[in-house]
Amino acid sequence: MPTSQTADIAAGARTAEPAAGSAGPPARLLRRWELGPDARFAATGPDGPAARRSRRVDTANGSFLLREHPVPDRRRIRFRHRITTALDEAGLPVLAPVPARTGRTLVTSGGLGYELFPWAGGRGRDGLELTFAQCEALGGLLGRLHAEMERLTPPVQQSMLVPVPRAADAAAAVDAMLATVPRDGGGTDFDALSERRLRERRALLAEFADHQPPDAEVCTVGHLHGAFHPGNLRHGGSGNVTAVLGWDGLTTGPVAGEVVRAAARLFACEDDRGLDLDRVQAFVRGHRASFPLDAGQIQSAVHRAWWERLCDVAPLRHRYLGEDGTWERPAQDRGHAALVAWWSANLERTLDAFAAPYATGAGEGATAESGADVPGDEHAYG
């Protein structure tokens, strides 16, 4: 989910003083980097748990973002820094961390960890704003990231057991929510819409109960960005990607799964139109040119991504079941329910569309079925 920090990057910085009661990092911390004597904090991070620990730093030579980690996982952060630095050096639009005077990219002070990045220029763009050529270029960028990470990292196990959600569990949750929705005119318009969507979902779960994908699948597994969606992409004036953010989500998993998840987040409409399959095809074609898989892997990943969305009732659990927490990704999934209904009605068409770029020369890459969603944390920088 793009935080308000990502919106701040797109719109430009707002100069502000720290919020009352928020001490923030001490100004002397900035001396740990070669930033010049005029380096100063320009603004607090906007709302959101990740953004509250981010501060913009202004200097005569440009702006930076300082991120704070309350309990730094040194090994994970240093691994991420090594990867992003190498990707930057390879000419990809990835922001490498700025080394401190000691040469370290993770600085500790008072038990906290800090990392510094160049400020990300450009602006966020919805995937549906992109031309077909830009969609293909974006798919090619993700493919180059996958290819370069495969080159930079040790081989990962090429089989993976990732459980899939059970339709019976999702149906039981829907039934529990339906039992709490106010009826007979006692609810709001949102309640009426929720009841309609819940009944729609309940019918779909019953209709497609025998379409569950297997837990274990053989696939091409590698290191993944983990959160390749519009909130983590910055575009320049010509539409080219100037920065890929969100590297806190760096993980391992099926490569085809990330391709499908990215396409579904980038090119989903917020209404009953579902996915823009022409843009999806351009994106997948671009990825294939940089990181060949095969049609079987892509189609299996499409099947699994659809199934996981079909069984996902998290957006309404908090309101109707009283569970702790809130739905964390409303901006990207405003059309979640509509997309599930559309995808279920157009499953074969969607499978064919994702596989279309592999129709010729599809023998390249590993031949097997692909995989599952292996989510990672999503942050503005990393």
What's the pLDDT tens digit per position in 20-65?
334 567 888 999 999 999 999 986 554 444 566 889 999 998 999 9
Structure-block tokens of residue 173: 């949750």
Which pLDDT score, from 0 to 100, does residue 218 have? 67
Assess contact for 117 and 381: CB atoms under 8 A: yes
Task: Check pLDDT > 90 for residue 66.
Answer: yes
Mean pLDDT, residues 134-146 taken together: 98
Angstrom distance (rounded) from CA 131 to CA 326:
34
Residue 272 DSSP SS3: coil
Which pLDDT score, from 0 to 100, does residue 362 have? 40
Mean predicted lDDT score pLDDT of the chain: 82
DSSP assignment letter at 361? S
What's the pLDDT tens digit per position in 279-292?
999 999 999 999 99
The angle that helices 189-207 and 167-178 make with each other, rounded to 10 degrees, is 150
Angstrom distance (rounded) from CA 233 to CA 245:
6
Same fold, 4-118 and 127-164+203-358: no
Task: Check pLDDT > 50 for residue 371.
Answer: no
CB-based contacts of 212, cutoff 8 Å, min separation 6:
164, 166, 167, 307
Mean pLDDT, residues 358-381 taken together: 40
CB-based contacts of 186, cutoff 8 Å, min separation 6:
none
Residue 232's pLDDT band (boundaries 50, 70, 90)?
very high
Which pLDDT score, from 0 to 100, does residue 17 have? 36
Q: pLDDT higher for 316 or 245?
A: 245
Task: Check pLDDT > 70 for residue 334.
Answer: no
Structure-block tokens of residue 39: 């380096």
Q: How far does CA 41 lie from the centroid of its chain? A: 28
CA distances from 368 to 221, 256, 284, 286, 362 (A): 11, 11, 18, 21, 12
Q: pLDDT higher for 263 or 319?
A: 263
Q: How far does CA 134 lie from the centroid of its chain? A: 19
Task: Check pLDDT > 90 for residue 257.
Answer: yes
What's the pLDDT tens digit per position in 185-199?
677 887 888 888 889
The pTM score is 0.83
The angle that helices 336-345 and 295-310 make with each other, rounded to 10 degrees, is 130
Residue 323's pLDDT band (boundaries 50, 70, 90)?
low
The domain defined by 127-164+203-358 carries CATH number 3.40.50.1110: no
Exposure b/e, 274-311, CB count within 10 A at least 16 = b: bbbbebbbbbbbbbbebbbbbbbbbbbbbbbbbbbbbb
Mean pLDDT, residues 102-112 taken together: 94
Task: Check pLDDT > 60 for residue 97.
Answer: yes
Domain ranges of the chain: 4-118, 127-164+203-358
Which pLDDT score, from 0 to 100, does residue 360 have? 57
Q: pLDDT higher for 334 or 222?
A: 222
Q: Please name every residue paired with 65 in a beta bridge, in sequence order, or none if there are none.
A: 56, 117
The domain defined by 4-118 carries CATH number 3.30.200.20: yes
Q: How far does CA 84 lie from the centroid of its chain? A: 16
Which pLDDT score, from 0 to 100, does residue 6 have? 37
Which pLDDT score, from 0 to 100, does residue 113 have? 94
DSSP assignment letter at 119? P
Task: Check pLDDT > 60 for residue 122.
Answer: yes
Beta strand extents in the chain (DSSP E only): 40-43, 54-59, 62-69, 107-109, 112-118, 159-161, 216-218, 221-224, 233-235, 241-244, 251-254
